[in-house]
Amino acid sequence: MTRLFAVALLVLLTACNQWTLVNPGPTNIRSSLQLSPTIAFNQRAGALPAQPTETWTLDGPLLNRVWILPGIPEGRPLVVAPSTFADPNARPFPAIKPTMNETEMMELIADTISIDNGQVALTTENLRPTTFSGQPGFRFDFQFAGRNELRYRGSFVGAMIDGKLFGVMLTATSLHHYQSLLPEFERLAASARRLTAAS
Amino acid sequence: MSEGRLFDRRGFLGGGCALCGLLAAGCQTTTAAGPARLNPGERPAAASDEASLWSAMERAERDIRTSAHIVRTPEVMEYLTGIMTQLAGPFARDVRLYVVRVPEFNATMAPNGMMQIWTGLLLRCSNEAQLAAVIGHELAHYTQRHAIERLRAFRSGTDIAAFLGLGLAVAVGGLGMLATQLATVGGLMAYTRDQEREADAVGIELAAAAGYDPGQGGALWERLLGEVARDERGDRGRGGFFASHPAIEERMEVIRRDTAGRTGETHAERFRSRLGGLQLALVEEELRQRRYARSEWLFDHLHKDGANPGLMLHALGEVNRLRDAAGDGERAAGFYTAAVAATGAPPEAWRGLGLVERRRGRADAASAAFTRYLALKPTAADAAMIRSYLS
Ligand SMILES: [Zn+2]
């Protein structure tokens, strides 16, 4: 497994070695969502324009990452450029529907993560109501083991606002890394503000 | 009976092996083209090419043993291992079974006796006899030493090195391999058509000798072909069975011919009851792939086969609810309603019913279903959210 893991790591490093710094303070994501981190993150640069999400990380996306959904519209999947772990034929990814309830949004997000990580079994926990950008939203936790055998934990906080899915998701290896990043993630989620053309 | 013809490429000769002994009657003696089959308990000669193949596999197996993707439920593993042990007879102590969580149809046998069955294959079996056909087939790859035969067919050292490297990769492929690598490996690692035919024939005889209906293997392939034809992605799935098992249609013909008129046990009831709670997890793994047309066809056929009516009707409800195309909501409600009236429906069928009724604006029906769901599963992962729908 070690050998395969090294290969996986190499592929990921080659594919995603372009990162730019996100400084603490209000940051606009695709001019539709504002987040205010209190620590600096690395943001994946040169992401495909078609990819509707952003990824931030502290120590590299295999170890921890914040995935940002800045308002994904109806009919769009959350992932356009699948990871190297995904079946290249597993397309298209499931897409947003305006009729989705919170359970179904959780299923959409969880299934997307599962497929993108190579059809892994993913356990979701504690789906509950919350607010996001001042709107009624939802939150859930999850865990899964990657095909690289790393154990991941994560949380999603978000809302469907005017038919678009907004949210932030934390994923980290092991309970320790997850818990150490959780306070910053909570601050990030609480700071989320949907941007409209007027603001 | 065509056993003789099937085996005349290479006789199953050699001393006192029960596994092959049961076939020997029909076998003609011909010149052995490949390595002699293994004897029970036999290990490769030290410093041979086969020994290095085995040690690569043993390293891979050590990783697999601690993998997060292995099914470890003791009752399930005891049951499945029991099926394999019975089929393997004198080889039972030489082989080990791992059930790997990959929602595709595949099973593999490493040359050192490490057998892997993917969870997607378990989902697709309607009875024990179908699983026995697969296990018998994979056992044959081991006893007939197909991997080393394949290795020796390569000419250059580069090919052999690639084969060894890929062999290791394939051994862990279901667990950790990158999909792109898996595609490459499928071709190189594939057994030959003759080896597959031989494995089919041995598998049939092993299943029959253990009292199973030997035609069930053919029924399993047949349904798999029907299912794959409905894959909306127009492909045959990640590293699935077709990557390592070519020419399935042609083999199916032979299997059908060789099992015509033969009967035996299917043990459908025992299969369902012993897999127990794992079956809902298998259904959920399949649903997660969002290949609606294909999954719907599969669940429908498993339902027609009599497998777990409550669970399969629930699964059909889930496919329709998740797809949510025109008419799906109504269909989903119908399936859920039928599911909860049948035996074996999980509490999640009530949740599904509540969600589609809520979406259809039928608040009272939704509340009743949600209440039922929460009563049956108060600690459900989405209980807090469902409760908020009720208030
Ligand atoms: Zn085979």
Considering CB atoms only, which of A88, A115, A125 is closest to B289? Answer: A115
Judged against a pLDDT cut of 60, whether residue B15 lies above it is answered with no
Same domain, B308 and B222: no
pLDDT digits (tens, 9 = 90+) for B199-237: 999 999 999 999 999 999 999 988 888 888 887 665 544
Task: Quote the tokens at residue B208.
Answer: 């029959």
Calpha distance B174→B171 (Å, rounded):
7
Helix axes B278-287, B268-275, angle to 10 degrees: 90
Tell me: the pLDDT tens digits for A114-147?
999 988 989 999 999 999 999 999 999 999 999 8
Is some CB atom of chain B closer than 8 A to the CB atom of A75?
no
Has residue B315 been placed in a domain? yes
Nearest CA in chain B to A91: B233
Closest by CA to A108, choosing from A122, A88, A128, is A122
How many residues does the structure list for chain A? 199
Residue with tokens 């083999």: B251
Is the same domain home to B112 and B220?
yes
| Domain assignment of residue B268, yes or no | no
Q: Within this chain, do residues B226 and B117 fall inside the same structural domain, yes or no?
A: yes
| Inside any domain, residue B67 | yes
Domains of chain A from N-terminus onward: 3-198 (3.40.1000.10)
User: What number of C-beta contacts closer than 8 Å exist between A and B?
Assistant: 119
Check if A59 contacts B (Cβ < 8 Å).
Answer: no
Domain co-membership, B117 together with B196: yes
Q: Are B372 and B350 within 8 A, CB to CB?
A: yes
Same domain membership, residue B236 and residue B92: yes
* Closest chain B C-alpha to A24 CA, distance in angstroms: 33
- Structure confidence by residue, pLDDT tens digits, A38-67: 999 999 876 666 788 999 999 988 899 999
In which domain, by residue range, is B327 found? 277-390
A177-196 average pLDDT score: 96
**Per-residue three-class SS string for A116-176:** HCCCCCEEEEEEEEEEECCEEEEEEEEEEECCCCCEEEEEEEEEEECCEEEEEEEEEEHHH
Phi, psi at B101, each rounded to 5°: -75, 90
Assess if residue B15 is contained within a domain.
yes
Examine the domain organization and report whether B255 and B336 are in the same domain.
no
pLDDT, one tens digit per residue, over B303-322 is 999 878 999 999 999 999 99
Summary mean pLDDT of chain B: 82
Contact B370, B354 (CB under 8 A): yes
Statement to judge: residues B291 and B233 lie in one domain: no
Name chain A contacts of B385, Cβ cutoff 8 Å: 102-103, 127-129, 138
Task: Using pLDDT thresholds of 50, 70 and 90, give the confidence band for residue B170.
Answer: low
Is A85 an interface residue toward B (CB < 8 Å)?
yes
B218/B257 Cα distance (integer angstroms): 10
**A4 Cβ under 8 Å from any chain B Cβ:** yes
User: Would the CB atoms of B67 and A85 count as touching at under 8 Å?
Assistant: no
Residues of B with CB under 8 A from a CB of A: 60, 63, 67-69, 101-104, 168-169, 172, 175-181, 183, 233, 235, 237-239, 281, 285, 288-290, 321-322, 324, 351, 355, 358-359, 381-382, 384-386, 388-389
Would you call B312 exposed, middle or buried from its count of C-beta atoms within 10 A (0-12, 13-18, 19+)? buried
- Answer whether residue B266 is part of any domain: no
For residues B245 and B293, membership in a common domain is answered with no
Structurally, chain B folds into a number of domains equal to 2
> How is residue A75 written in tokens?
């009919």
Instruction: Establish if B264 belongs to a structural domain.
Output: no
Question: Is the same domain home to B333 and B371?
Answer: yes
Q: Is the pLDDT of residue B167 over 70?
A: no
Identify the helix (H) or strand (E) that includes residue A21.
Answer: strand A19-22
- Is the pLDDT confidence value at A173 over 50? yes
Q: Among B141, B37, B154, B35, which residue's Cα sits nearest to residue B95?
A: B141
- Our measurement of the distance from residue B385's CA atom to the centroid of its chain's CA atoms, rounded to an integer in Å, reads 36
Please indicate whether, in this complex, the C-beta atoms of A106 and B382 are within 8 angstroms of each other: yes
pLDDT band per the 50, 70, 90 thresholds, residue B23: very low
Same-domain status, B249 and B100: yes
Smallest CA–CA distance from A142 into chain B, residue: B381
Gap from CA of B288 to ligand 1 centroid (Å): 27
Q: Which residue of B has its CA nearest to A110?
A: B288
Q: Is the pLDDT of residue A157 over 70?
A: yes
- The CATH number covering residue B299 comes to 1.25.40.10
Residues B190 and B329 in one domain: no
Provide φ and ψ at A124, rounded to 5°.
-100, 150
Residue B241 has pLDDT above 60, yes or no: no
Question: In angstroms, rounded to a whole number, what is the distance separating the alpha carbons of residues B276 and B280?
Answer: 8
The verdict on a CB contact (< 8 Å) between B289 and A121 is no
Same domain, B247 and B325: no
- Contacts with B344 (C-beta within 8 Å, 6 or more apart), sequence order: B272, B308, B309, B310, B311
Residue B93 burial by Cβ neighbours in a 10 Å radius (0-12, 13-18, 19+): exposed
In a domain, B267, yes or no: no
Q: How far is the CA of A175 from the centre of ligand 1 (A)?
A: 41
How far is the centre of ligand 1, averaged over its atoms, from the C-alpha of B24 (Å)? 21
In a domain, B316, yes or no: yes
Q: For B24-33, B130-139, B149-158, B175-184, which range has the lowest pLDDT when averaged over its residues?
A: B24-33
Residue B301: helix, strand or coil by DSSP?
helix
Of A197, A195, A196, A198, nearest to A26 (Cα)?
A: A195
Characterize the bridge pairing of strands A151-161 and A193-194.
unpaired
- Nearest Cα residue in chain B from A112: B288
Q: How far is the CA of A145 from the centre of ligand 1 (A)?
A: 29
Digit-coded pLDDT (tens) for A73-115: 999 999 988 887 887 776 679 999 988 999 999 999 999 999 9
Band of pLDDT at residue A70, cut at 50, 70 and 90:
very high
Q: Cα B14 vs. chain centroid, distance in angstroms?
A: 31
pLDDT tops 80 at residue B37: yes
Q: Which of A1, A87, A99 sits opposite B359 (nearest CB)?
A: A99
Identify whether A88 is preceded by a cis peptide bond (ω within 30 of 0): no
pLDDT beyond 70 at B365: yes
Reported confidence tier of residue A9, pLDDT bands at 50, 70, 90: very low
For residues A151 and A178, give the distance between their C-alpha atoms in angstroms, rounded to a whole number: 11
pLDDT of residue B348: 98
Of residues B111 and A198, more confidence is placed in: B111
Work out the widest C-alpha separation in chain A, in whole angstroms.
52
Q: Establish whether this prediction's ipTM goes over 0.95.
A: no
Residue B108 confidence (pLDDT): 85
